[in-house]
Amino acid sequence: MTKDRLYIFDTTLRDGAQTAGIEFSLEDKISIAALLEELGVDYIEGGYPGANPVDTEFFSEKRTRRATFTAFGMTKRAGRSAANDPGVQALLNSRADAACFVAKAWDHQVRVALEISLEDNLDNLRDTVAAAVASGKEALVDCEHFFDGFKANPDYAKACIVTALEAGARWVVLCDTNGGTMPSEIRDIVGQVLAVAPGDRLGIHAHDDTGQAVANTLAAVEAGVRQIQGTLNGIGERCGNANLITIIPTLVLKSAFADRFETSIDVARLERLTSISRAFDDRLNRAPARQAPYVGASAFATKAGIHASALLKDFSTYEHIPPESVGNERSIMVSQQAGKSNLLTALARHGIELAKDDSRLERLLATVKEREARGYSYDGADASFAVLARRVLGTLPDFFQVENYRASVERRHNAQGEEVTVTEAVVKIRVEDELLMSVAEGNGPVNALDLAMRKDLGKYSSRIEDLVLVDFKVRILDGGTGAVTRVLVESRDGTGERWHTIGVSPNIIDASFEALYESITYKLLKTEAAQATTT
């Protein structure tokens, strides 16, 4: 049996930008687009060119290699042509491959919010889609409030679809804009829509206001639509959009869907799912949801109790899918075997080859687990893992030690009566027998400490010249009295390589110091290898 193709349309960078507390920079958008390409979605809706400077700049270049790069915007206003509508032209002149126009499909909304006639609304839709197609772009139409509109006036809602398709739109997307529709209603209404439009021209855009965005999306697919809109980790306005990180594994792994449909995401890409989901949360500087379906840290965790002993007899009983199929892991330590083989893979990535029965492997595993229990997380701090591994394995060169340090911040009024803040750090470093003291001012204690530490590393100084601190993130774990601070530092050097190090301590400065120290150590390890090769 040939399978129907489902298309995944990601709107993390557009509708996801409506999330409370989220504001994407250009750098964020570029980095998230790369994650989406890694995941393998078909469409990346990148924003709304013309609406704000970040989005306009994002669309000044083609940002995808594989996915259809899609710009969002409004249909033209009444009383002017598409050619004279600056909003529409901003989309058509962008470097997007496709343009997705939002159009109201609820008669009440057209009258109340747009204050135009129902016919004018259809004209605007028709002319806008035609202009996009004429400019060589693929056209899509988001029918806003489609389901509420259909309940109020099914003929008008259907007329919007037919108008868009006749004007040349590749897809018309049925949007449950306020998120209040039930799966049974979705099924019923999609069934009626199929009388005027084929399912392979229809999409679904669901919101999670009743906790059913995923179910609504899947119900629409079962009923006939073939394009799915959603976001990474379900970010979005109010309760969020349909969560693609939850939907994709269901489509790929569950026979109810996998037997009937195929997507652009194969089982190999699916194994990257957990890491992509967590990298996205890292970018947003928020803690991953532990209970998230498929990718959460607890998704395959079983507490010792009535289930654990049964689980030991037969994993399939309490796991609806194998955790490794989505790159996640079981969190009962059943055998050290699973842990060891992961560790060997990670070590090999850093060029460390170890035999399976090397006793140091056991020690490293125990050390990693003990540190993760204290708040370290080596998932996002590969360079710290490399440093830790060499330390435990006894192969870390003794580059330098920081004997002590001091950082101070003082805010006071200067002689002119202006408020000034002065930050200073002093470090005492030992490189072999040499004792080096450095002092530096910075625009914060971490910056001052970083500058002081790198000011003079004796014979190593030349090897860290091109080291740049790119990003610095802080998270408080377990708020309350037992709180510890986790600092993640991202570094880069002249080769373009980026690496991440981690520090954990109740004291933010100590945690920062640890991450900075490990970043320098990692850089020295890198150049050590280079030096070894050149000699």
Closest distance to a second copy from the beta carbon of 359 (Å):
27
Residue 342 C-beta: closest distance to a second copy, Å: 14
Closest CA to 175 of 236, 125, 245, 105: 105
Interface residue with a second copy, options 301, 352, 354, 436 (CB under 8 A): 301
Question: Which listed residue (4, 5, 27, 191) binds a second copy by CB under 8 A?
Answer: 27
Subset of 111-170 contacting a second copy (CB under 8 A) = 112-113, 145
Instruction: Judge whether 137 and 176 are in contact, CB under 8 Å.
Output: no
408 binds a second copy (CB under 8 A): yes
**What is the pattern of x (binds a second copy, CB under 8 A) and - over residues 7-26?**
-----------xxxx-x-x-
With CB under 8 A as the contact rule, the residue among 83, 134, 162, 333 that binds a second copy is 333
Binding mask 515-534 for a second copy (x = CB under 8 A): --------------------
Q: Does 261 interact with a second copy (rule: CB under 8 A)?
A: no
Structure tokens at 189: 């209404």
Looking at the Cβ atoms of 414 and 534, the one nearer to a second copy is 414
- The three-state secondary structure class of 112 is helix
Does an H or E element contain 389, and which?
Answer: helix 382-393
Amino acid type, 464: I
Candidate segments 34-42, 165-173, 304-312, 353-361, binder of a second copy by CB under 8 A: 304-312
Determine the interface stretch with a second copy among 173-181, 194-202, 262-270, 362-370 (rule: CB under 8 A).
173-181
Q: Which residues pair with 261 in a beta bridge?
A: 4
DSSP 227-260: EEEEBGGG--STT-B-BHHHHHHHHHH-HHHHTT
Q: How far is the CB of 376 from a second copy (least distance, A)?
A: 10
Q: Which stretch binds a second copy (CB under 8 A): 80-88, 117-125, 177-185, 389-397?
A: 177-185
**Does position 246 bind a second copy by CB under 8 A?**
yes
Comparison of 194 and 402: residue with beta carbon closer to a second copy: 402
| Site residues (CB under 8 A) for a second copy, limited to 497-516 | 505-510, 513
Residue 102: in which H helix or E strand, if any? Answer: strand 98-104
Distance CA 164, CA 401 (A): 68
Shorter beta-carbon distance to a second copy: residue 222 or 271: 222
Q: Least separation, in Å, of the C-beta of 132 and a second copy?
A: 19
Which residue among 413, 415, 433, 533 contacts a second copy (CB under 8 A)? Answer: 413
Please, are residues 26 and 61 in contact by the beta-carbon 8 Å criterion? no
Taking CB under 8 A as the criterion, which residues in 198-237 touch a second copy?
208-212, 214-216, 218-219, 222, 234, 237
Give the chain's length: 535
Question: Distance between CA atoms of 189 and 177, rounded to whole angstroms?
Answer: 15
Site for a second copy in 306-325 (CB under 8 A): 306-307, 309-310, 313-314, 317-321
Examine residue 300 and tell whether it contacts a second copy (CB under 8 A).
yes
DSSP state of 451: H
Report the distance separating Cα 169 and Cα 354, nearest Å: 57
Q: Read off the tokens for 345.
A: 């893979």
Instruction: Indicate the residue among 291 and 531 with the shorter CB distance to a second copy.
Output: 291
Residues 452-491: x/- map of binding to a second copy (CB under 8 A)?
Answer: ------------------xxxxxxxxxxx----x----x-
Q: Is 484 helix (H, G, I), strand (E, B) or coil?
A: strand
Choose the stretch contacting a second copy; rule: CB under 8 A; options: 30-38, 62-70, 335-343, 515-523.
335-343
Instruction: Return the SS3 of 405.
Output: strand
The minimum distance between CB 136 and a second copy, in angstroms, equals 26
Helices (H), 40-85: 53-58
Question: How far is it, in rounded angstroms, from Cα 474 to Cα 509?
Answer: 11
**Tokens encoding 14:** 């557009």
**Binder among 182, 194, 258, 365 for a second copy (CB under 8 A):** 182
Query: CB 372 → a second copy: shortest distance, Å?
Result: 9
Q: Which residues are within 8 A (CB) of 54 and not within 5 positions of it... i.e. 6 or more apart? A: 24, 25, 26, 29, 47
Give the torsion through C-alpha atoms of 303, 481, 477, 427, to 10 deg: -140
Ramachandran area for residue 9 (φ above 0: left; ψ -120 to 50: alpha; else beta): beta
Size, binding site for a second copy by CB under 8 A:
118
- Distance (Å, whole) CA 489 – CA 503: 8
Q: Does 435 contact a second copy by CB under 8 A?
A: no
> Which lies closer to a second copy via its Cβ, residue 295 or residue 347?
295
Between CA 377 and CA 300 the distance in angstroms is 18
Q: Which stretch binds a second copy (CB under 8 A): 166-174, 179-187, 458-466, 518-526?
A: 179-187
| Residue 200 burial by Cβ neighbours in a 10 Å radius (0-12, 13-18, 19+) | middle
State how far Cα 431 lies from the chain centre: 41
**Residue 439 binds a second copy, judged by CB under 8 A:** no
Stretch that binds a second copy, among 109-117, 160-168, 339-347, 386-394 (CB under 8 A): 109-117
Residue 184 binds a second copy, judged by CB under 8 A: yes
192 is an interface residue for a second copy by CB under 8 A? no
Contact status: 355 vs a second copy (CB under 8 A): no
Pairing mode of beta strands 138-144, 484-492: unpaired
